[in-house]
Amino acid sequence: MKIHICLLTLFATMFISMQTLADDGKKESNDQRGKMKPWDNGAWQTGKYRNVFLEAGYQQKDIDAN
């Protein structure tokens, strides 16, 4: 009997966790810094490496400080 209660609790916890993770991906961000656009080719093909913090709207001086 105890094993059934433990298994039921485990499965319920897993189900709730999976549902919470699935919902997080659907929320839109209200971040005002900007939207990053994907590149057609990656750094391996282009030889250029993107500064994702700068593209996201952070100031260069703030990026350099960290």
Q: Which residues contact 54 (CB under 8 A, 6 or more apart)?
A: 60, 63
DSSP 36: -
According to the model, what pLDDT value does residue 64 have? Answer: 93
Give residue 37's Cα distance to chain centre.
15
Average pLDDT, the chain: 78
Q: Which residues contact 33 (CB under 8 A, 6 or more apart)?
A: 56, 57, 58
The whole-model pTM stands at 0.40
Residues 55 and 33 sit within 8 Å (Cβ to Cβ): no
Mean pLDDT for 39-57 is: 87
The confidence band for 34, taking pLDDT boundaries of 50, 70 and 90, is low
According to the model, what pLDDT value does residue 8 have? Answer: 86
